[in-house]
Each structure stands twice: as C-alpha cells, then as structure tokens.
Amino acid sequence: MVAEVNGPGSGVVTSLHNAATRPERPVNPVSKPASSGPQDVVRLTDLGTRLQELGKSVENVPQVDHTRVEQLRQALADGTYQVDPEAIADKLIAMENLLGAGKAP
C-alpha cells in the first residue's frame, strides 16, 4: 500500500493504493515477487529526512558527560553552585525559537 502524508502536522494521510481492492495472492517463499506489479513506496518529507539525518549524526555522541555531572554534584554538595536565571531564560527562549521554526505559518 502506498500512503501519502499531506504535509507535516496535517494529520491527513491519503491512501493511493488500497490493499483491500487487490485480490489476495498466495505467498510462496521460494518464488520471487513479480516486478511488473505495484510496489510499496515510502516518501519522506523534508522534515522526516532532516530528522533521520539528525538521528544519524548524534548516534556517537555520549548521552551523559560524567565529568560535568561530577562537577555539579560536588558544587551542590559544597554549596558553591549558583543559578543564573537570565542564562536559563535565554536558553529557554532559544529552544522555543528553534521548536517554533518548524511550524507552518
């Protein structure tokens, strides 16, 4: 079956080939599939392609910086850790802007 997603976030999927309208064929594990029949096709949107590339690029990045965790743990333990509310707000705004960039107008 081929399905087309009509844009990111649209929630609309259009079926191009309905499997229910095709007659059932017995599956023979020894024979090769016919090349002249309809084939299933997957089309990724630009966003899907970018997400796939991003996933590949971060596969080798360590999930936890153990050195930084230990530094923070020590700073909390000895009372030297200080929170910078402006830096936190700036990071939250930057993240929100990045998330909002993918939205349709």
Calpha distance 6→14 (Å, rounded): 7
Other Cβ atoms less than 10 A from the Cβ of 20: the count is 7
Q: Is the pLDDT of residue 87 over 80?
A: yes
Enter the DSSP assignment of 22: S
The structural domains of the chain, with segments of one domain joined by +, span 1-24+38-59, 62-100
Question: How far is residue 64's CA from residue 41's CA, in Å, rounded to a whole number?
Answer: 38
Amino acid at 100: G
Alpha-carbon distance 15 to 5, whole Å?
Answer: 9
pLDDT at residue 32, as a whole number: 58
Tally of CA atoms within 13 A in the half-sphere of 40 that contains its CB: 5
Whether residue 8 is predicted with pLDDT greater than 90 in this model: the reply is no
Residue 34 reports pLDDT greater than 80: no
The pLDDT of residue 92 is 95
